[in-house]
Structure 1
Amino acid sequence: AEMKQVMKSLDNITWERLNTETVTYPSLSPTDPGQAVVFGDGFPRAEGRAKFTPAAVIAPDEAPDTEYPMIMTTGRQLEHWHTGSMTRRAMVLDSVEPEANCSLHPKTLRALGVEPGGMVRLTTRRGSIDIMARADRAVSEDMVFVPFAYVEASANVLTNPAIDPYGKIPEFKFSAVRVEAVQSIAAE
C-alpha cells in the first residue's frame, strides 16, 4: 500500500491483471492495456514540460596509454547477476554460463592470436586475471567487457576505485587495461 501511494506508475497495474493480460505503463484505467507513448499529453510538472539539466562530461580517472592501451568495462550477463552469489548456485543458470569469460571484438582476438574460447590475461594498474575470451562484434575493437559474477576471475581486482565527485560511486565501468594472450602450458 505504501508503494502504491508513492509510485503512481503502479496505478491500474495489478498482479491479477499481469497474470492474465499484457499491461504497460502508463495504464489510465483498470481496463486500459497501457499507452504507447509515455507523457504524450505533457510531463507531470506545473507547465507540463520536461526539465532538462545539462551535465558536464567528466573525463575518466585514467585513460588508455601505451602500457594499458585498451578500455575495460564491467557489467552483468543474462544468466548471472551481480556477484553471482545466487545465480551461480542455480544449476540451470550455472550450466549455461559455467566459466568466467570476457568479450572482445573478433578483430581484437585475431590481433592477439587468440581463438574464441582461448585464455587472455587482463592487467590494469591494480592487478591481473586470466579469463576465457569470447568473440563479440558488439564490443568495440579497443574494449573488453568483463562480467562481474565470477569470483575466480574477479573483475573488481581490476576496476578503478576512483569516486565520481557527484554520484559518489566507484568508476567500475571504465579502466585502462592491457590484454595479452595466455600461452597454454603445453605451448610453453
Structure 2
Amino acid sequence: MTSKTATNGWAALEKRLNTLPKPTSTLKLCADADVRDRYLAAKQAHARTDESLKALPADAEADAKKLLQSRAVETAAALEAATAEYDQATVTLTFQALERGQLQTLLDEHPPTEEDEEKGADFHFDTFAPELIAAASVDGMPAEYAANALKTWSLSDSDDLWAAAWSVQRRKRSDLGKG
C-alpha cells in the first residue's frame, strides 16, 4: 500500500471516527405506577406472542397459525395503546458521555475525603454526583436540581438518576477483536 493510499484510507477512517456519536443513556420516570405496569405487561405479552409465532413450525396447522397471528395483532395493538399511555405519563431524561478531559476535571474538583478514601472512593459523591449529572444532562438539568433530586427522590429513583449519568461515562464503544 502506498503512502498516499494509506493517507486517503486514514482520512476516510478519521472522518468516520470523528462523526461517531457519544454514548447516551436515558432514565424514564413514570408518574403512574398502574400505567407503567400495564405497559410492561403489554410489552411482555406481545414479546411472548411474537416468540411463539416465530417458533411455530412451518408445517403447523393453519388454524393454530391463524390463531397466533390474530393474537399477535391483538397484542401489538394493546402494546401500541399502552406505549402511548406510558409515554404520556413519563418524563425521559437523557445523559451523554463527557469528553475525557471534562470528566477528569470534574473528578479533580471533587476529590475524596479521608472517609471516602477509606471506602475506596475516587471522588466525594455528595459534591461530584450532582455536578456530573448536570454536566452529562442533555436536557440542561442544573446541578442544584440534581443535588435536590438525589436527596429527595426515592432511594431507587435517585440511584437510577446517578446510574444513568455515571454509567454512560464508562460505556464502551470499542470491541477488541482478534483480527
Same fold (TM over 0.5): no
Pick the structure with greater CA Rg: 2
Q: Which of the pair is proportionally richer in strand? A: 1
TM-score between the two structures when normalised by the length of structure 2: 0.22
Q: Which of the pair is proportionally richer in helix? A: 2
TM-score between the two structures when normalised by the length of structure 1: 0.22
